[in-house]
Chains A and B, each alone.
Chain A
Amino acid sequence: MRVSLNQVKQYINFELPPVGELVARINQQLGGVENVIDLSDVYKDAVIVKVVECEKHPNADKLSVCKVDDGGKTKDATRDKGGLVEVVCGAPNVHAGMLAVWLPPKSIVPATYHDSEPFVLGARELRGVVSNGMLASPKELGLGDSHEGILEINPAEQTPSGVGIKPGTSFARIYGLNDTIIEIENKMFTHRPDLFGQLGVAREVAGIQHKAFKSPDWYATASVDELQPASDTLDLAVFNDAKDVVPRFMAAIVRDVTIKPSPTWLQAELVRLGGKPINNIVDVTNYIMLLTGQPTHAYDYDKLRGHKLGARLAKAGEKVTLLNHKTYVLDETDIVIVDDEGPVGLGGIMGGGDSEVGETTKHIVLECANFDMYAVRRSSMRHGIFTDALTRFNKGQSPLQNPYALMQLIQSVFDTAGGALGSIVFDEKNEISQNRKVNVTTEFINERLGLKLDEKEISALLQNVEFTVEPGLQVTAPFWRTDIELPEDIVEEVGRLYGFDKLPRELPKRSILPAIKNPENELKQKIRQSLSKAGANEVLTYSFVHEKLLTNAEYGTKGAFRLSNALSPDLHYYRPRILPSLLDKVHMNIKSGYDEFTLFEIGKGHDKGLDLNEEGLPREPQFVDVVYAAKKPQEGAAFYRVRRLLDQLADDLGLELVYAANKFSASTRLFEPSRSAFVNDKVSGAFIGIVGEFAPSVMKKFKLPPYSAGLMLDFEGLRDASIQSTQSYRPLSRFPSVTQDISLITDVGINYRSVETIVVSILNKLEEDFYAHFEPTSIYRADGASQKTTTFRITVSNSQRTLTENEVTAILGDIAALAKREIGASV
């Protein structure tokens, strides 16, 4: 939102503080200032001159040599004896006696001021005649596109400054271009329809400085009833067939207008406020919007078929061509402005191209309507049209504003284009409610702000911005404040106008009750610490993935939630699991020179195959996924590398895991069944996940090195298991322990677990005083042999006495005997 300080000054009756201070205040009490533009520097050298003489250039047909009078104001100018300055001008409209704008040497052409290389004028010889600077066209002055001729100043024209126009007067001063523009972030004003007009901002600027503001009469007390049409009215029918979404539709004819460029002051106003001058009619409609926030529109009366104008909902399939020359296909939720034969505009968003006001327009119809913010937003979103009018309507403009805006618009048309009222003022509306009274108390306000204001102070703050406050803090917001409904809205208003920076800062009081812990977060942190201690690197990857990632990981897209508005195909699907994202990051890191590494991530997966939760939302199972990769193969299969990591994690979490062959299922498709295992917690039986090497197709598609493997762990399983895990302690024995090895030779088909089970079952049968501990030390198989040797180191102690070697040998004997019986093992 661009705010002109010169505009603001017109509406207030006190001096503004210096710009820096004002900006700080606006920041603190109104909204974030994004930019401050000092226009006064742009126009500082431009001066009004009188062209005293104007002769044909002796050496050029199209040029004129002028002598101009700048009232002697410009220093360092080269003057003739009479004090006049010589300027060469190529414009066809230059003539003696006119008032023009002169840009002296060394000044910058205003239109180029913000360019990377601004154009600096000099004293330049043009075909033998020296030209001191130049006479400027509207375009060179940054006022629109016209550069066919120089800007001619009409001394009789009204100026907002009220300063009389004479040679030597500063151009900027006359037209208010000695201005400072403050740009405030629109986001701050989402709920404030009034702040999309200069008037509204001026009111707030007064309010935050604790000064009373009074709206100009035309915005507060004027009445359309004062407007009576001339006796010769034109035929027009106005209707509103969509009052639910068009609460008010006002229109009036101004007949016999003259279409021409706007007066310079109006062009200057528009440019300062970020608008673009087009012609006097379009310019005044825009100007009224920029002042009040109320968009208005002008139609060419003769282009309205059947001399009808109204609002209704579109018919499905109906088409409209708008001012942007694009055609839109509508449906029953769009509001259209129509004449007798069809749409001439999309209500609240943009006018139609066919009824545009142009050079040949004679009579105009002015529309000043109010549209439902939700309806216009929906249309704009669906058609992708965003306009200044929409920006204002979708904030919820008040329908009570329309008569004031329309009346000021009609008056402005008279002033700039002549003409007379050619119809009554039509007003097709629903019943419009006034703002309701909101009852608050000083306690309610003070409790929420931590302040101790009294009723008088609160009333004054609100009355400064034209709220009505009756005794006992019965507050009625002015009509333009459609955002005030609740007592809390009054609290915001009071706090902001008072100054949030002045609120007392005190911490809430709390009891000594300990804050609740989050066991899941703590477990995740433990997992992170365990894995990182084991050399793994935690990564975070996107929850959204490319279709290719899913098919490469053998998941496919069937079970994946799909985004409907993703910007890139990389983000089309929610990932069902994390592991594919990790696999995707292996090749890249190997290419960066990392030969061996482990990546892990803790996160969520989403699967359409799962039922919804009690809130009707997709379940969000959590996973701890790991990938290990080495560029060069290491000793043993890669499977055992990740299994080792998982055993370490289990140890850190106090779990004991059981590995069983992969019972192939859909969710494990990316693992190679013969080289992966299902993992369960021994105590709770909870399913922990899958560990293993990847299917060859997956290895290939992700360009994994052959020596790689991974883990896909269920976080919920780990959580359930770790809840049941118990730390056990055994008192230290005073007696030495005995350690012996036993090697069991079995068929290669007997798996390790079967062998281990034998050892465990014997050790578990020892009497209570015994403590036995074992660890596997090697599994040996000669090349091509059909048997293997599994060796365990067994350590036994007794809490009551010193054991003899023979006692331990006997235990090993029991193991050997059982192994022989159960699995046919020899020693």
Chain B
Amino acid sequence: MDTEGLIAETRKILLERYAALENKADILKARELKDLFARIPTLSPNERSSFGQAVNKLSNELKLMAAGESDDATDLQPIDVTAPFDTNAALPSLLPAEDGSIHPLTQEIERLSDVFGRMGFAIETSREIDDQYHMFETLNFPKGHPARDDYDTFMTEETDKDGERFIAPAHTSTMQNRMLKKYRNNLEKDEPIAVVVPDRVFRNEDLDARHEHTFYQVEGVYVAKGVHAGMLVATLQKFLEEYYGKELNVRVNPFYFPFTEPSFEFALSCPFCDGNGCHICSQEGWIELLGCGMIHPNVLKAADIDPNIYTGFAWGCGIDRLVMMKYGIEDVRHFHSAKLDFLRQF
């Protein structure tokens, strides 16, 4: 067969097959087409040019057809969008209620918010883009402070009015200054500032079964006259006892955060084994749960609150871990996977 005939023959075969194909783009992967291309380098130089052009022409024709196909493949008759149901059709039914589910993280946020709400805390939300002023400066992390390195913070290419990159908040504490200001007037009325902020936060971390770059925290702030560190411990203990529905032991270890002084790491006796040691608490009997402390005077000052008159405490607690422990979820990545296998269990 001459080369011209070969191409014509192949074209015919491919067009026939194309008509029957379900995924039209598959025609571009046809063996016959590949064979034609493979033939090009075997030809003599004077044959090669014209044959190559002809093969390319066929290939382009098929490409165009496959590409054009996508737009008229679907039957796109206009419909009457003002009607509640389609012509010649009944009112569609909803999916069965038992298929529906609310995400375990939002369920837990709701539970936490309920307990804190009953304890007198207002519930607020956080931001997903913030500035370094709120994430660091108002929290007593001066510019260039090494403690900023402890927060693997995502930053944007875009910058704020001071030319600083925006950030994806690495903790819900990014809302502290705003909360203190928003509820500052409470203090004059002899009422405390009492707010919790459960929301999404971000850390620039590699993903694995225990690490997520996107997770949830609940921030808490309490400011009034005469608030001391023992009240911080008692408040969190009461919250956890209410949350777990049982009496618990708690302990604090010293820690360092620029925005609290003193700072603590807070642990509770494992509620799943009553402190006897189990796989959830790694046989320790204790679970390191959150960071907390007495609000640093510079943080109060940044919100125009006089630290000589008012004192307060703050904490930040990871929510994902609470949920993982509660249900025995083995991989933190499930939360944002949108897998129905996972979601429909809740």
Contacts and interface: CB of A to CB of B under 8 A. Distances in A.
Contacts of B150: 187, 190
Contacts of A543: 128, 168, 200, 202, 214
B329 interface: no
Given A561-B156, A563-B156, A539 B343 contact: yes
A640 B204 contact: no
Contacts of B125: 518, 520-521
B32 to A, nearest CB: 25
Contact of B335 (A381, A525, A540, A571): A540
B235 interface: yes
Interface in A506-522: 506-508, 510-511, 513, 515-518, 520-521
Contact of B344 (A31, A537, A699): A537
Interface residues of A, number: 130
Contact of B100 (A515, A537, A542): A537
Interface string B43-83: 00000000000000000000000000011011011111111
Interface stretch (B34-42, B157-165, B272-280): B157-165
Interface string A678-697: 00000000000001100011
A645 B94 contact: yes
Nearest to B71: A696
A49 B222 CA distance: 66
Given A503-B233, A541-B336, A543-B214, A508 B192 contact: yes
Interface string B78-115: 11111111111111111111111111011000100100
Contacts of B258: 190-191
Contacts of B315: none
A582 B101 CA distance: 16
Scoring A486, A505, A615, A639 by chain B CB atoms within 10 A of each residue's CB, the highest score goes to: A505
Interface string A253-264: 000000000000
B81 A659 contact: yes
A155 interface: no
A540 B229 contact: no
Interface in B120-152: 120-125, 127-131, 143-147, 149-150
A536 B103 CA distance: 11
A756 B222 CA distance: 56
B230 interface: yes
Given A377-B144, A534-B95, A563 B154 contact: yes
B81 A675 contact: yes
Interface in A629-651: 634-637, 639-641, 643-645, 647-648
A643 B131 contact: no
A751 B80 contact: yes
Contacts of B222: 508
B254 A659 contact: no
B338 interface: yes
A139 interface: no
Interface string B221-232: 010101111110
Contacts of A596: 95
Nearest to A697: B70
B284 to A, nearest CB: 11
A391 to B, nearest CB: 9
Given A515-B121, A540-B336, A697-B70, A565 B154 contact: yes
Given A531-B100, A616-B160, A788-B87, A589 B228 contact: no
B339 A515 contact: no
B344 A636 contact: no
B92 A677 contact: no
A780 B202 CA distance: 53
Contacts of B90: 635-636, 778
A496 B97 contact: no
A449 B344 contact: no
Contacts of B224: 508
Given A567-B204, A599-B338, A503 B81 contact: no
B129 A496 contact: no
A504 interface: yes
Interface SS of chain A:
mixed
Interface string A483-499: 00010110110011000
A328 interface: no
B264 A500 contact: yes
B297 interface: yes
A781 interface: yes
Given A506-B231, A618-B129, A637-B86, A32 B157 contact: no
A537 B129 contact: no
A448 B229 contact: yes
Contacts of A618: 129, 166
Contact of B340 (A486, A544, A592, A700): A592
Given A488-B297, A699-B74, A501 B166 contact: no
A562 interface: yes
B244 interface: no
A743 interface: no
B191 interface: yes
A505 B157 contact: no
B130 A447 contact: no
29 contacts: A32-B253, A190-B256, A373-B146, A447-B228, A488-B294, A488-B307, A495-B229, A500-B229, A500-B264, A501-B251, A507-B235, A508-B231, A511-B191, A513-B191, A537-B101, A539-B338, A543-B168, A544-B214, A561-B156, A594-B340, A608-B158, A617-B129, A636-B89, A696-B76, A697-B70, A751-B83, A753-B82, A776-B85, A780-B88
Interface of A: 27-32, 187-192, 373-374, 377-378, 381, 394-395, 447-450, 486, 488-489, 491-492, 495-496, 500-501, 503-508, 510-511, 513, 515-518, 520-521, 525, 528-529, 531-544, 561-567, 571, 574, 582, 585, 588-589, 592, 594, 596-599, 604, 606, 608, 615-618, 620, 634-637, 639-641, 643-645, 647-648, 659-662, 672, 674-677, 691-692, 696-697, 699-700, 706, 751-754, 756, 776, 778-781, 788
Interface of B: 70-71, 73-74, 76-103, 105-106, 110, 113, 117-125, 127-131, 143-147, 149-150, 154-158, 160-161, 165-166, 168, 190-192, 194, 200, 202, 204-206, 213-214, 222, 224, 226-231, 233-235, 237-238, 251-256, 258, 261-265, 288, 294, 296-297, 307, 311, 335-336, 338-341, 343-344
Closest 10 CB pairs of A and B: A535-B95, A636-B86, A636-B89, A753-B82, A532-B100, A677-B81, A752-B83, A450-B228, A450-B230, A492-B262
